[in-house]
Structure 1
Amino acid sequence: MEKSEQIMSGITDLNNKLLLLRKPIMEKAMTGFSLSEIAYMEYIALHPDANVTRLAAALYMTRGAISKITKKLEKKGMITSYQKPDNKKELYFALTAEGQKIDAIHRQLHQDFLAADQKVFSAFSDSELTTVLRFVDAYNQLLNQELN
């Protein structure tokens, strides 16, 4: 098997194991929320003035799917919508206090996962990690081009 095949197989295996191990932890900690809803809340927590168009592009979903998630999260009291005084056409979203609590739990889980992963990362030099980052960035750019 060529190195490129080994890398792609390894990435797939890594992703599958991460999902297998971490998805149940996240689902238990945030009962009642889908992973899509969590990703939506994370995005609006990190990006002020998030709207349907930006959310759809960032989460690789259709505008219709984002609209459905928006309704669910509004019903659960996790988000609120607003308009800017100078733009009455566009709706923007922000987390409510309850949404911020869920986002904080989510962020803490990510920090816990990262801390647990440090034993792997610390085994590599800064130079080696830089090479891995270069690969990930280049591959992401290729995939972005294919998506566009």
Structure 2
Amino acid sequence: MNKDELVLRKFRDLFNKMTWLNKEKMEDVLKGYRPSEVHCIEFIEKNADSNVTKLSESLYMTRSAISKLMKKLMEQGLIESYQKPDNKKEIYFRLTEQGRVIYNLHEELHQEFRERDRSVFSQVTEDQFDLMLGFIERYSRHLDTEIKKQGIGVKPE
């Protein structure tokens, strides 16, 4: 196995381990909410003026799927839609108080997981972080280019 295959396999293994380790706690605390719903809630909270297009590009879901998800989240009272006074065409989303509760629970879980893993990250030097982040950014740009070739939206920078 060459090194690029090994790196990709190790990334997959790492991601699968994190998912497995976090899954039970996430499902217990966020019972009744699907990962796609929680990720939409997270995106809306962290990005002003979130709309279907931005959500679709960021979460790599179709606009149709996002529209259905937004309708469900509104019916659950987790988000609300709004329009800007100067743009009556575009519909944006923001969290309700109930949506913020879900967002905060999710953030608390991530903080707990970061604390659990701090012993590993505390040993990483700035240069090592820079090298890892540089590789991830280059690979991500490459994948964005490949996605664009297929005519699928690219995550905005």
TM-score range, shorter chain: over 0.9
The CA deviation at 1:18 is 1.2
Match of 2:65, SS state, is helix
Query: Which ranges in structure 2 are unaligned for 5 or more consecutive residues?
Result: 149-157
Alignment of 1:1-148 (within 5 A): 1-148=1-148
Q: Which runs of 4+ in 1 moved over 6 A?
A: none
Q: CA RMSD in A?
A: 1.0
**Paired residue total:** 148
The CA deviation at 1:33 is 0.7
Letter in 1 for 2:57: A
Whole-angstrom distance in 2 between the partners of 1:85 and 1:128: 47
Whole-angstrom distance in 2 between the partners of 1:131 and 1:49: 33
Superposition TM-score, scaled by structure 1 size:
0.96
The CA deviation at 1:123 is 2.2
Whole-angstrom distance in 2 between the partners of 1:24 and 1:137: 30
Superposition TM-score, scaled by structure 2 size:
0.90
Match of 2:80, SS state, is strand
Identity of aligned residues (%): 44
The CA deviation at 1:24 is 2.1
Deviation by residue 1:90-140 (Cα, 9 ceiling, x = unmatched): 111000000001101111111111111111112222211211111111111
